[in-house]
Structures are given as C-alpha cells and as structure tokens.
Amino acid sequence: MNVVVTGMGRSGTSAVAHALSLLGFDVGPFGASMAADEFNATGYWEVPELSAFNDALLERAGGSWLAPPRRLGSEAAVGAPMMVAARERFEHCFPGGGPWVWKDPRLCLTLPFWRQVLDPPIAVIAMLRHPAAVAESLAHRDHAERDYARAMWERYTRSLIASAQGLPTIVVDYTQLIRDPSEVIRQLATSLAVDTGRVPAAAESIRRDLSHYVGDDAALSDAERELWTFMCDLIGFHAALTASPPVRESPWLQLSFEEHARAQQIIASFRADRADLQESLAAQDHRRGEAEAELRDLQARLDQIIGSRTWRGLAWLRRLPRALGGGRRQQLPGP
C-alpha cells in the first residue's frame, strides 16, 4: 500500500517519512534531496517538484501554504490538462512503482486533487501535534505570530480530516512518537503490513532531542480546543476514516488568511517595484559607465594626438593665424 504523510508543518511529518523509508517504502530519487538544516536536522524528506506543484494548486485556489484556502476547487475548476501534468510529474518523481511514501504538509489541502490522480490503494498518515507547540516552533523558525500559526493549524487539520474521508488513515500523536518511537513505528509497520524486522532501525532514526516545545491548552481558542480534543480521540488506525471535525470554525480564521494574502500581494508589489527601480538604476549606471569609458577613450586619443611628432611639427601652422591677424581671429570671407 502506498502512503502519504501529512499534517500541519512542524508536527513530525519529516521524521515519520524518514522512518517509513527505513521500513522499505520508496521515497523516489528526489525524496531525500531537501537537505537538513538547523530547523530539521534529519532532512525534510519532501519531493521538491511535487511541493512546487502543490504550491501552484494552492495559488490557483487563491491561497498559499501560508494562507491556506478553504477549499481547493472541483476537478472541472482545476482542469484536465493540470491533472495530466500532475500524473506525469508524479511518475517522474516516483518511477519505481511503489510501495512509495510521499510527505508534504500541503497534502492536507491538496489531497482531494491527488485522489483523482493517483491510483489506489493509498493510506494516510496524519501527524498530530498540539497547536500551541506548533505555533512555538513556527515562531522560532519563521517568526510567525503565534495566533496566526494556530489559525494555520486549524485550517490544515480541518482540511486533512475532510480530505482523508474514506481512506485508511493512521493518526499519529507527535508526543507519543517522541516518547516511545519503537512502539509507534511498530504500530505503523503492523497497520501498513510491512516487515516489522526493520522497526528498530526505523525507530532509531527518530531524534527525541529535537523536540523543544510543549503545548498548553490555555493558549487555545474555544474552537481550537474543541478541534484538538476531537483529534486526540482519533489517534490510532482507521480502516476507512469517517469521522467529521466539529462544524464550528474560529470566526476570525478566514479573515486572517485573506488579510495575510493581501499583505503578501502588497509586499510582492513593493518588491517588484523595487526590482524595477534597481534595474533602472543599474541601466543608468551602465550607460554612465559607457559614457565615462568613451570620454576616457577620447581623452586618450587627444593626448596621443597632442603628444605626436606631427602635432608638434605643425606648431608653426597653428601660430600663423595669430601672426597674420595681429593676434585677432579673422573671419573668413563668405563664398
């Protein structure tokens, strides 16, 4: 069975994708190409080409990964050519035929599209971390406002549950993964029907020392707390996910994303204007440089003429008008 690993960013999606690769799932030739950094010491385990495609889908829906849209749109709205392009892109990134594992937090939002593209069976691993801990991690990495980061968690989590309806789904508790990686990875291997003999090596890849933040329910809104409680009740394996999240959404959620999108548009416009100005200034500097170079060339040629033997030899001719005119310039007669 093929697997998608998703969930709000900073929830352990990378760690689980890496562990599944050690259980024998194919990450494709590009799955390990996103190098580790100070914020993800074991790598991101994403497929850059597919992440870029998901970004394009979100942009088409009027959003982004930072300002997630409420819904992606229907198949007709996306268009058949884009679906064909998606399949071609996926087959390029996963040429082996499976079983594969594909990790991308954006799949919380774009999975409905990919369910129309990818062949079943597909299982979903949904990573769950306390929204306040996610917000702290995003504040550290991206300097995100904590209220806004929790809003992202809410939109991603609601979209994930709606997107995974009817699919085999395993909801994994991030805290439990860090506390007892061997048990969590063993449960994953059993649920996905893969060799449990590889569990020790896969569990060893989970870095407990990389978890720095804990959640506090006191920081949550009523809607966030309600959703968090609902998700905690879902932890475990579901042969076919049928549960629906609470209907109530934080009242300011959509407004926050719309305001963020407008702010990003203003920033993008400012950056474009700045780039145009810089290009204009660079062009002016280039033209000035060319003019100065031409002036230096003319000066060098003039110095060469003045310093030549011919110029010095014609000095008597240059003095002749002054001698003939008594020092006054003479106007030559007209025709």
Per-block average pLDDT, block size 10, for the chain (335 residues)? 96 96 92 70 85 94 90 67 94 90 97 94 97 94 90 96 96 96 98 96 90 86 94 97 86 85 85 91 92 93 88 82 65 47
Instruction: Locate all alpha helices (DSSP H) within the chain, ordered by sequence.
Output: 13-22, 48-60, 75-78, 80-93, 107-115, 131-142, 146-163, 174-179, 181-191, 199-204, 222-233, 253-306, 309-313, 315-324
CATH architecture of 2-251: 3-Layer(aba) Sandwich (3.40)
Contact 43, 203 (CB under 8 A): no
Task: In whole angstroms, give the CA distance from residue 119 to residue 53.
Answer: 18
Task: In whole angstroms, give the CA distance from residue 208 to residue 315.
Answer: 91
Contact 227, 158 (CB under 8 A): yes
Contact 55, 264 (CB under 8 A): no
Residue 42 pLDDT:
74
Residue 250 pLDDT:
85
Burial annotation 138-165 (CB, 10 A radius, 16+ → b, else e):
beeeeebeeebbbbbbbbbbbbbbbbbe
pTM, two decimals, is 0.79
Residue 332 pLDDT:
44
Which residues are bridge partners to 128 per DSSP? 173
Q: Which whole-number Å values give the CA distances from 125 to 108, 164, 237, 311, in the listed order? A: 11, 10, 9, 89
DSSP 210: G
∠ CA 185-191-197, nearest 5°, is 50
Residue 283 pLDDT:
92
Task: In whole angstroms, give the CA distance from residue 209 to residue 107.
Answer: 27
| 243 residue type, one letter | A
Residue 286 pLDDT:
92
Contact 127, 11 (CB under 8 A): yes
For 279, the token pair is 């290009």
Residue 252 pLDDT:
83
Q: Which whole-number Å values give the CA distances from 121 to 7, 53, 115, 159, 168, in the listed order? A: 20, 22, 10, 20, 9
Residue 125 pLDDT:
98
Task: In whole angstroms, give the CA distance from residue 18 to residue 13.
Answer: 9
